[in-house]
Structure 1
Amino acid sequence: MTVLDSRSGKPQDTDPGVLITDDGVSMPTVEDIGVGRGPAWLDDWLVRNSADVVAWYRHLHAYPELSRQEFNTTELVAGLLASVGLRPTLLPAGTGLVCDIGTGDKCVALRADMDALALTELTGLPYASTVVGACHACGHDAHTAMLAAAGMALASAPELPGRVRLIFQPAEEVMPGGALDVIAAGGIDKVDAIYGLHCDPRLEVGRVGTRVGAITSATDLLELRLTSPGGHTSRPHLTADLVHALGHVITGLPALLSRRIDPRSGTVLVWGAVHAGEAANAVPQDGVLRGTLRTGDHEVWEDLEPLVAGLVESLLAPTGVGFELHHQRGVPPVMNERECTQTLRAGVEAALGEDALAGTKQSSGGEDFGWYLEHIPGSFARLGVWSGDGHMPDLHQPTFRLDERALLVGVRVLTHIALAALA
C-alpha cells in the first residue's frame, strides 16, 4: 500500500506488514496488534496495514492545523477513504467530513476530532510539529488516524448488519465547537447512536475508561470589563476605585457561587487573566477580568448565566464602577447514556478482553461531543495512551506524546464498538 512519509508528506511504498522505523523512535510490533481476537478480516487488515496507520498518524502530527483550518487533514482523510471505495462527503465549510459504510436502516456513528492546539511543540520527536504555534497536544491526530483506519477496516468486512457513519469533526478546541457544524449539516440525521474515544495519559495502553452519566463538564467563558472615571490614588473617594472593584469580584464571585449552587455539582470558577492600569499612583479607567466557569451538572449549567449576572451586579453596585459582562456559553457536559455505555463496554471487551475495562472519573474539562448527546444517545470513553513507564505529560502540554501502540488498540476498539452497536 502507498502511504505518506511522516515528515515530507510525499508517498512512499512499503511492503504489507513491514513496520516503518523513524530515526530510532520505537514502533508498535505485530504482537501489539492483538491478532487472533477477530474477526478474521480485521486481524488481516491490521497485519497488512499497521505500519501505514502509524505513518498516517505521524504525518498528521507533523502537519497540524488549527480549528476550521483543517483543509489538508480533511483532504488526506478523504483520499484514504476513497482509496478503498468509500464516498466521503465534505462539510459545507470545507473542513471535516462524514462517510457512510454499509447499507440498511440502522446507523451508528463513530466520531473523531481533527484540529490542533495553538501551542508550540517541545517533544523533540523526529516527527514533531513543523508548524510554529500549532501542535497536536490533545491527541486529535491519533483520533483521526484511528478512525480513518477503522473505517477502512470496516470497508473490508464481508458484510455489515447496518451502516456505520464516520464523522471527522473540525474545531473541537474552540467554543461552542465544531460539533454544531456537523449537526447543522445533517451529520447525525438518521443516526441511532454515536460513540467516541479520547486519548487519556492517565491510563495505560490496552485499557479503556468508561462511565455512565457525566464524563466531562460544561465549560463557559466569562469576560468582565470595568470602567471608571479614573483619578489619583490619593483621592479614591472622588472616583470609582476600579482595581478594588476587580479584587472584589475576583474573590467574591467564586465565594458566592459556592453558597448558591449545590457543591455536589462540581461547579468551579477560576480566573485566568486580569489586567488594569499601568501607573502605581493612578486609578485606571478600564480593566478586564477573564475566566472559565465549569459544572458537571446539566441543570446547573442551564441556570448559570442569569445567576452569575445577578451576582456580579450585586457585587459591583456599591463600588460605583461601570461594567459589561460577557458570558459565553460553551459546551454541555458529555452525558453517557446507560445502554450505549453497556454497548461500548461490550465492544471493548470483544476487542481487548474484560481486563481492558476501567472505570474513570468525571473530568472538569469540556468536550463538544456533548452537543451530539443533546440530540441522540451515545457514549464517550477514554483510551489509554501511557506506556506505563515514567512520567506521562498531560493533555494540552507542549511535551505531550503518546505510546503509538495505542493507535492499533484504538482501531480495534472503534471497529468492535461499531460491530457491537449494530449487533
Structure 2
Amino acid sequence: MSRESEAEPGAESAPAEALPGALPEALRAELVTFRRDLHMHPELGNQEFRTTAALKARLEEAGLQPRVLATGTGLICDIGEPPAPGRAVRPMLALRADIDALPIPDTKLGVPYRSTVPDRAHACGHDVHTTVVLGAGLVLADLAAKGQLPFPVRLIFQPAEEVLPGGATDAIESGALQGVGRIIAVHCDPRVDAGRIGLRHGPITSACDRLEVSLDGPGGHTARPHLTTDLVTAAAKVATEVPALVSRRADARSGLAVTWGRIESGHACNVIPQHAELSGTVRCLDLDAWRDAPDLVHGAVQEVADLYRAKSEINYIRGVPPVVNDALVTELLRDAMSERRGPHSVEDTEQSLGGEDFSWYLEHVPGAMARLGVRRPGERTVRDLHQGDFDVDETAITAGVELFTAAALLDAMR
C-alpha cells in the first residue's frame, strides 16, 4: 500500500497551521524520514542503543536535556520550565512510547525502508509510537521556547515492551513517573483508518501471563500402565481439564482463559515416559481476576496431576495486567482528537486479548491508551500486528502528533 496518503484523512477544512501547536510541513517530512530510519534498523528489547542515540541527538538538537535510563537504553525528557519558587508544583502529563522491535523477518516488498537487519522487524508499530512522541515533543519544545506551554510535559521512550514482564518496570524504577500525574500512549491499530483513533473506557487490553508445567513419575512398559504413572495420559488431562476447571472457577465475565501452545512427552510408542512438559498462556480481561489467577491455576494443575499420581512443578510467569483506561484521561484524548480533527475522528474500540506493559504505569498513575489508526482509508487488505508484512499509512504520524500536542495543551487548562 502507499505508505503516505496524499491527504490527511479526517482533517478539518481549516488550515492546520491555524491551530496552536500545529505540525509544520517540514517537520512532517522529517518525522516520516525518522520513522523509516527506525524501521530499517530495528532493535530488540534492551538492545535499542542506536534508537536511543538517535532520539537523544534529535532532542538535544532541539535544546532539550534527555536522560538515558539506568538500563542503558530508552530515555526520559522533560519539556518546559518547572514552577517558580513558591508556586505549587503541578504533576506532569507524560507521553509514552515503546522503542523495541520483534524477532521476526520483514517480508514487505517494494518499499525502500524494509528492515536491513535479518530476522528483525518493527512489526508492531513501535517505530510509529516512537516517532509520534518525538514529534509531539519537538512541537511542545517549540511552544515552551515561546512561553506557550503552561506546564511541563515528560516524554518517556521505553525499551523492551515485547519482553515479559516489560521494560515499563525498568523505566518506572529509573524514575520515569516521578512528578507525573497522568500518562497517555497510543498503539497502532491496522483495523482503524489513518487519521482516526479508537478509544474505550476501562480495560482496553488483556492480561497475559506465561505458564509452564512439568510432570514427573515412574514410567514403564505400555503393557503395564497400572504399574506406572501414565504421564502421557496425565499430561493430556492437564491440557484438557485445567482450562475447563479454571473457566468454571472464575467469574465468566473475567475472560480468564488457559491456552496451551506446547505439549511434549516420550520418544517411543511402547514406553511410558518419566517426564512431560506443557507450556501456554493465561489471559484475562479483568484486573481483579488477573490478580487471583496464579492461585487458581496452581490449584487446578495440582488437582489434576494428583488424580493421575503425577508429581507436578508449576512455573507461573507474571506478564502484564490489563491496560485499564481512566475515564477522565480517556475523555482528555477524545476531546483533544475532536478539537484537531472533529468528533468523527474518534471511534469506539473493543477490548483486545493482547497484552501491553503500559499497564504497569497505570498501577501508579491514571492514564489511557488510544488505538492509533494506521490503515489507508479504503484499503481492503487485512493486515495484522506481529506479521512480517505489517506496515502503516504514514499520515498516522501526523494524527498521533496532533493528538498528543492537543492533549498536552488541553490538560494544562484543566
Q: TM-score, normalised by structure 1?
A: 0.91
Q: Match for 2:57: what amino acid?
A: G
Alignment correspondent of 1:288: 277
Alignment correspondent of 1:397: 387
Deviations 1:380-420 (A, max 9, x none): 11011111312131111112111111111111112112212
Alignment correspondent of 2:118: 132
Contact between 2:3 and 2:392, CA under 8 Å: does it hold in 1?
A: no
Contact between 1:50 and 1:408, CA under 8 Å: does it hold in 2?
A: yes
Alignment correspondent of 1:4: none
2:168 corresponds to 1:179: yes
Q: Match for 2:355: what amino acid?
A: G
Alignment correspondent of 1:97: 75
Alignment correspondent of 1:382: 371
Contact between 2:68 and 2:76, CA under 8 Å: does it hold in 1?
A: yes
| Cα separation, 2, equivalents of 1:309 and 1:398 | 36
1:26 Cα offset (Å) = 4.9
- Aligned match of 2:42 in 44, 47, 64? 64
Q: Match for 1:319: what amino acid?
A: Y
Partner secondary structure for residue 149 of structure 1: helix
Contact between 1:241 and 1:319, CA under 8 Å: does it hold in 2?
A: yes
2:4 corresponds to 1:27: yes
1:46 Cα offset (Å) = 2.6
Q: Match for 1:390: what amino acid?
A: R
Contact between 2:17 and 2:24, CA under 8 Å: does it hold in 1?
A: no
Partner secondary structure for residue 74 of structure 1: helix
2:398 corresponds to 1:412: no
1:331 Cα offset (Å) = 0.8
Quickly say closer, same or farther: Cα 1:48–1:118, change in 2 above 3 A. same
Alignment correspondent of 1:146: 132
Partner secondary structure for residue 21 of structure 2: helix
Quickly say closer, same or farther: Cα 1:109–1:26, change in 2 above 3 A. closer
- Aligned match of 1:156 in 139, 142, 151? 142
Q: Match for 2:43: what amino acid?
A: E
Alignment correspondent of 1:86: 64
Contact between 1:344 and 1:421, CA under 8 Å: does it hold in 2?
A: no
Contact between 2:3 and 2:391, CA under 8 Å: does it hold in 1?
A: no
Partner secondary structure for residue 293 of structure 2: helix
Partner secondary structure for residue 317 of structure 1: helix
Q: Match for 1:135: what amino acid?
A: A
Partner secondary structure for residue 209 of structure 2: strand
Alignment correspondent of 1:348: 337
Q: Match for 1:419: what amino acid?
A: L
**How many pairs align?**
399
1:38 Cα offset (Å) = 4.9
2:102 corresponds to 1:117: yes
Q: Match for 1:146: what amino acid?
A: V
Runs of 5+ unmatched residues, structure 1 = 1-23
Q: Match for 1:116: what amino acid?
A: A
Deviations 1:350-377 (A, max 9, x none): 1211110100111111111111111011
Q: Relative CO higher for 1 or 2, CA cutoff 8 Å, sep ≥ 6? A: 2
- Aligned match of 1:309 in 292, 298, 305? 298
- Counterpart mapping for 1:357-376 below 5 A: 357-376=346-365
The two structures, once aligned, show a CA RMSD in angstroms of 1.6
| Cα separation, 2, equivalents of 1:41 and 1:300 | 43
Contact between 1:223 and 1:289, CA under 8 Å: does it hold in 2?
A: yes
| Cα separation, 1, equivalents of 2:8 and 2:307 | 69
